[in-house]
Amino acid sequence: MDVYAHIRTLAEREELGHAFLITGPDPAEREKLGLFCARALLCEGEGSRPCGRCAACRKTEKGIHPDLLRRERLPDPNNPGKKYRDFRVDQVRELSGEAYILPNEGKRKVFLLPEADTMTPQAQNALLKILEEPPSYAAFLLLGRNPGAFLPTIRSRCVSLRAGGSASEGGDPEAAKLAEAWIGRNGPALAALTFRAEKLEKGKFDQLLEGLYAAAGLRAKAGGPDRDRALELTELTEKLRSMRKFNVSQGLCMGLLLSTVEN
């Protein structure tokens, strides 16, 4: 399913939730998808949302809706013209306080964080507190290049969306095939897929692991008889990603994935 159609479906079902993690390599695509989510959350029209016609949609599109609050890294006073390298913990604490102030116009109050992947672990832990028990009207859109930059506790409380990709496949068809083969205990198919994965360039291989994590998470959130199996794959992929930080080879990572297919 196209990611924009996926958001519309969630809006129609009143299942938009309060936190979205929007990742992908292109900042323009992330921004586009983030603003689409904001419009869907703030839309006051009838039928399909965002309708694009109501006052809330028009204000959001122009960037003047009072309940859409954009928060980015602050300027560094020691380096004029530059920003702090990280999204700082004091900003997150201030944001959390703002979240408890009622919306100005609409039913929702939306925080858009375009550089959320620069948050320090301390800042993410501060954000986690508001994500765990947010006000009913508050929503948070966390944008970043790599989902691996976010703590697992943050990711688990967000709807993950891949900018420029498919909602049903985590943005990576090959990753979706890997997830399907592992969850379905299809050893021969998984062997062929892992063999191809071992030959990828380093960057593309790590992107594949990110896609596999996203695909497994989507399968788990979909529920059904494969939910527990999908959760196991999510945990396993998290382990593989950690191994890569210590320069464990692609072959060993794929070997572990293949060896656990029958578990």
Cβ atoms of 123 and 87 closer than 8 Å: yes
CA dist 179 and 234 (Å) reads 9
CA dist 19 and 240 (Å) reads 26
Token pair in block for residue 194? 């892992």
pLDDT of residue 165: 55
pLDDT of residue 128: 93
pLDDT of residue 130: 93
> CA angle, 42 as apex, 104 and 126 as ends, to 5°?
75
List the chain residues with pLDDT less than 50.
1, 166-171
User: Which CATH number does the domain 3-162 belong to among 3.30.465.10, 3.30.420.10, 3.10.110.10, 3.40.50.300?
Assistant: 3.40.50.300
Cβ atoms of 212 and 175 closer than 8 Å: yes
In this structure, the chain runs to a length of: 263
CA dist 70 and 49 (Å) reads 21
